[in-house]
Every structure is written in structure tokens, then in C-alpha cells.
Amino acid sequence: MRYKSQSVAYWYFAVAVALFGLQLVFGLLSAAKYLGPDPLLHILPFDVTKVIHTNLLIVWVLTGFMGATYWMVPDESRTELHSVRLAIVQLVLWVVMGVTAIIGYLFRWGTGNKLLEQPLPHKIVIVIVMLIFLYNVGMTIRKSGRLTTTEGVLIGGLGLAAVLYLPALLHYENYTVSIFYRWWTIHLWVEGVWEMIQGGFLAYLLIRLSGADREVMEKWLYVIVGLVFIAGILGTAHHYYWVGVPSYWLPIGGIFSALEPVALVGMAVYAYSSIRRSGMADPNKLALHWTVGSAVFTLFGAGLLGLAHTFPQVNKWTHGTLITAMHGHAAFYGAYAMIVMAMISFAMPSLTKRPDEGTPLGYWAFWMQIAGMFGMTLSFATAGIGQVYLERIMGLGFLDAQLKIQVHFLMLLATASLFACGVALFIIDFFRHAPRFEIELETAAAAAQPRGA
């Protein structure tokens, strides 16, 4: 750890991994409800467990993003964070917002707008937290007078994520209009500016872990950002197929959705090429596993599986089925969960007493999560294909079709349990190492020297 203020990232990471574990609890509970009978039907019905599961995903990933940024920005800017106290206040507000939101969902207090169910008071707190965060980061960069391209792409993604949250603050009486504008936040987050955030973290990690040339990495970053903006913005139209918009959105959505994986291919290629070119300059091989794994799994989940069902000719059959869950789970995990765990794994030897090269428990966590998520993806895929055939082609009712595909939910629970074990091992590996917040003399001396990287 080069700078004392980087230690604030530990508390963000601790909250993030704890929420990740809680998300898994509600995810397993939601999957189990497909098998029935449900003894918690009148206490925790499916709509409540699913809302909590999906919203915890957004909250813990954003918590991880903020913690990783508080680790990366001082390192890139070569200066202490502007205000550790502000960062702590921000985290406290964020946790209070998250806890009260979950309690509210238990009592059906929400807007009903998928992934943006937070009541208005909570949304206002989210805006305040994001303003504090961007101010703190911005003042840190201003104080240093140094802004790298990697850092700029990251901050640009975070700033645009905050701006794109603004449509979620508005209330629309017409539900169709509400759905239309919801994608201005959700799609442009997960298939737009969040990919900029992922790209910024990915470039930072590859430079640090492989010793790759910064100039080469940043050129790749420009390509990825350009592709994200070209394809990601107009690719929003693939969500417009079924909300009553003019038919010209069909070809636009289809064409540009097909181009979205190009950015993800670029991300995977530049991760692989940097390792081939530069080797392994850092002993933290566990962080490298998560870093390269994020690039490759993003290509699989967000790229290939997204492309498989977003064409209008296909989506008219798969829309609103478990095929969407197939794509969503693999995409979110590869692109955002894995890059957060990569940043945590990279920072852990400095923030805790974990060995630099990682631990056997950490590697077990990695491979069990990969295997579990791949199995979950296949389970959702087979269940979704069966659902499409039974409901959309054979005309079977929803509940009758669900009975026919229950065997796939047994597979889902088995693989999800494997995945949950991997997450549990990651959490245990994080908390079993006592935190340490001393500045390492060697890295502090290196930070004081001019460097090309």
C-alpha cells in the first residue's frame, strides 16, 4: 500500500463481500421456490426474495466499484485521498440506505420498477452518496494534477453512471413509458458506462500485474470505449421491441446489439495479449486469475449469450423467459462481480496479512465459482429452451410449463450451491486475514520515483 488513505477501500470491500453473501441467500431461496411447496409463501413470497436478490446485486457491485476506486485513484494520481472522513461518511450513508431499503422490500415498500425499486427517499440518498463520491475523487485528482487515461476512463464511467441514474428519479403514470425510460438507466449502465468502469479496472490490473506497457494498454482502452459508445447506446433499442415503440427500432436494436460483443472480444484479446507480451511481473497470481477470468467470462456471458437471443427474430420467442436469466447471470458475474473480486484480490496483500501469491482457499473459491456459474448458466439455458417451446410454441400455460421443467431447477440448485460454496470460501478468505493499514516502505519509495507505468 503506497498511501495511507487507500486503507479506506478495505471497509468498502468488507461491506461488498458481506452483501454478496446475502445476495446469494436470497438467490438460493428464490430458486428453491420453483420446486415447491413453499413454507415461506406468506412471509417471503417469490416477488420479495427476487427484488431483494436483484437489488443486492446492484448495491454490492457499486460498493465494490467505490472501494476499488478509492484504492486505485491514489495509486494512479500518486497522492493521498482528498478526505478519508468523507469516504467513511459516504459508506455509512450507503449502508443505511441499503439496510432500510431491504427492510422496506419486506413490507412491499418500493416503486415496482424492476432493478430501480428504491422509494424516492432512498434514491435521493443514492444521489447524495454519488455526489460525495465524485467530489472526493475529483478533488483527489485535482490535488495531484495528474490524470492518467486509465483513471480518466474509470472516472468517466462512474460520472456517467451517476448522470444516467437521473431518469430513475422521475415518476411516470404510464407503465409503458416507465419501462422505456428505465432502460436509459439499466441498459446504459450494464451495457455502456459500467463497461468503461470494468475497462478502467482491467487496464489498471494488467499494467500492475503483468508490467504491460501503459501506452499499449491505453490504446486498447480507447478502442473499447469507442465500441461501447457506438454499439452500447444504440443497442438500447433491443429492449424496445415489446414496449410499443415504432418498428424501425427493430433493425437498429438487432444490428447494434450484434456489435456490442465486439467491445467484449477486444477486452478479452487485450487481456490475453498483454499477458503473452509481458508475462507475469507480480507474484499475485490469484488476482491475475480473476482479472483474465473477468475478460473471458464477459465475452461468454455478456457477449455470446447476449448475442444469442437479442435479435428480433429470436427475442420474440425468448423475451421474458428463463433465457434472459441465463444471459443476465453470466453477464453480470463475468463483467462486474469478477472484476470487483479481481480488485479485492489485488489489494488484499496490502490491506491484510494475506500472502502475495494468494491462498489455496482463494483458488478453490475461484474455480468453484467458475464451475458453479457455468452450471447455473446451462441450467437456465435448458430450462429456458424448454419454456419457450412449451409456452410459446405448444401454447401450454405458464404454471403447467413450469411443472415440466422442474428437473432443470434441481440442476440449478445443485450448481448454485456449488457457486455459493465458492462465494463462502471467498468471504472466509477475506475475513480470516487481519487487516493491516501500514504503508509499505518499498512501495512508498517506488511511488516517490518517476515511473513510466
Residue 149 pLDDT > 80 = yes
Angstrom distance (rounded) from CA 50 to CA 29 = 9
Closest CA to 336 of 185, 200, 182, 152: 200
pLDDT digits (tens, 9 = 90+) for 1-49: 789 999 999 999 999 999 999 999 999 999 999 887 888 888 899 999 9
Residue 289 pLDDT > 70 = yes
Residue 402 pLDDT > 70 = yes
pLDDT recorded at residue 223: 81
pLDDT digits (tens, 9 = 90+) for 76-111: 999 999 999 999 999 999 999 999 999 999 988 888
Which of the four pLDDT bands, split at 50, 70 and 90, describes residue 282? confident
pLDDT recorded at residue 14: 97
pLDDT digits (tens, 9 = 90+) for 403-430: 999 999 999 999 999 999 999 999 999 9
Query: What beta strand segments (E) does 3-61 contain?
Result: none
Angstrom distance (rounded) from CA 185 to CA 162 = 9
pLDDT recorded at residue 246: 87
Residue 305 pLDDT > 70 = yes
Report whether 295 contacts 335 (CB < 8 A). no
pLDDT recorded at residue 311: 86
Q: How far is CA 177 from CA 65, 112, 163, 184, 362, in A?
A: 30, 14, 19, 11, 45
Q: Which residues make beta-bridge pairs with 435?
A: 352
Residue 445 pLDDT > 60 = no
Closest CA to 273 of 295, 258, 290: 295
Residue 452 pLDDT > 50 = no
Report whether 221 contacts 206 (CB < 8 A). no
pLDDT digits (tens, 9 = 90+) for 164-209: 998 888 888 888 888 888 888 998 898 888 988 988 998 899 888 8
Mean pLDDT, the chain, rounded, equals 89
CB atoms within 10 A of CB 112: 11
pLDDT recorded at residue 279: 66
407 φ, ψ (degrees, to nearest 5): -60, -35
Q: How far is CA 27 from CA 20, 23, 41, 53, in A?
A: 10, 6, 15, 6
What percentage of the chain carries pLDDT values higher than 70? 96
pLDDT recorded at residue 230: 81
pLDDT recorded at residue 448: 46
Report whether 232 contacts 160 (CB < 8 A). no
pTM for the whole thing? 0.93
Which of the four pLDDT bands, split at 50, 70 and 90, describes residue 260? confident
CB atoms within 10 A of CB 71: 29
Closest CA to 338 of 219, 436, 419: 419
pLDDT digits (tens, 9 = 90+) for 207-259: 888 877 788 778 878 887 887 778 888 888 888 888 888 888 888 988 888 88
